[in-house]
């Protein structure tokens, strides 16, 4: 998918995937061939992290939305920016990360200007969410088989495998931006309808 092909081919492939998957929006989360694994804990409670979808990459820049679900039996408080790293065959791949409150300042994802990064009280079964943004048309790309996600205030980490609609986690240009965790499923504060953000 987002691998060593031309820019026009990558854009056409993302568009085709997005158009063929519009019916998935608003239903159960899109998944991966391998089940995500998590040792991420808030006290004794387990937190599960899953990939929810993408904005698509028609202009070369795309976002990926992730959900963090409290699978434990008590409330859990999370806040701040997740730490993201990429791996292939057990080896960490070189990719810089930058914490960014809102996607390129337009407040479409992340938090609106003037709002503080929230502390989120996750009840059992509750969901927090966050976006990461990257580029798939610049030279020098990585092809990762998994993302590792951790949070400073929590123990453990979550392993997020490649979604079934991708060939790999492919990011180009040497860096990504990471939005803060927010309450709810949209990765935005204030929240937005998923249909206004997701193509896949």
Tell me how far the alpha carbon of residue 66 is from its chain's centroid. Answer: 4
For residues 171 and 86, is the Cβ–Cβ distance under 8 A? Answer: yes
Q: What is the pLDDT of residue 24?
A: 31
Domain-wise residue ranges, the chain: 7-193
Taking the whole predicted model, whether its pTM rises above 0.75 is answered as: yes
Query: How many Å apart are CA 26 and CA 55, to the nearest integer?
Result: 14
Task: List the structure tokens of 179.
Answer: 């939005």
Q: pLDDT tens, position by position, for the chain (200 residues)?
A: 444 444 444 433 443 333 333 323 333 344 444 678 999 999 888 999 999 999 886 667 889 999 999 999 999 999 999 999 999 999 999 999 999 898 555 446 899 877 889 999 999 999 999 999 998 887 889 999 999 999 998 999 999 999 998 999 999 999 999 999 999 999 998 888 887 777 76
For residues 137 and 10, is the Cβ–Cβ distance under 8 A? Answer: yes
Helix (H) or strand (E) holding 14: helix 7-20
């Amino acid at each position: 998918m987002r691998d060593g092909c031309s820019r026009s081919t990558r854009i056409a492939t993302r568009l085709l995937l997005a158009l063929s998957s519009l019916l998935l929006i608003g239903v159960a989360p899109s998944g991966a061939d391998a089940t995500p694994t998590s040792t991420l804990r808030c006290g004794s409670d387990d937190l599960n992290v899953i990939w929810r979808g993408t904005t698509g990459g028609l202009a070369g820049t795309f976002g990926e939305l992730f959900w963090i679900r409290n699978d434990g039996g008590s409330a859990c408080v999370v806040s701040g920016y997740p730490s993201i790293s990429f791996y292939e065959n057990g080896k960490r791949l070189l990719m810089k990360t930058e914490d960014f409150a809102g996607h390129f300042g337009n407040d479409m994802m992340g938090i609106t200007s003037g709002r503080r990064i929230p502390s989120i009280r996750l009840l059992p079964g509750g969901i927090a969410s966050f976006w990461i943004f990257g580029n798939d048309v610049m030279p020098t790309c990585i092809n990762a088989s998994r993302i590792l996600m951790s949070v400073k205030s929590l123990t453990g980490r979550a392993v997020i495998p490649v979604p079934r609609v991708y060939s790999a986690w492919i990011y180009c240009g040497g860096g990504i931006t990471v939005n803060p965790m927010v309450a709810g499923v949209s990765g935005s504060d204030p929240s937005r309808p998923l249909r206004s953000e997701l193509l896949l």
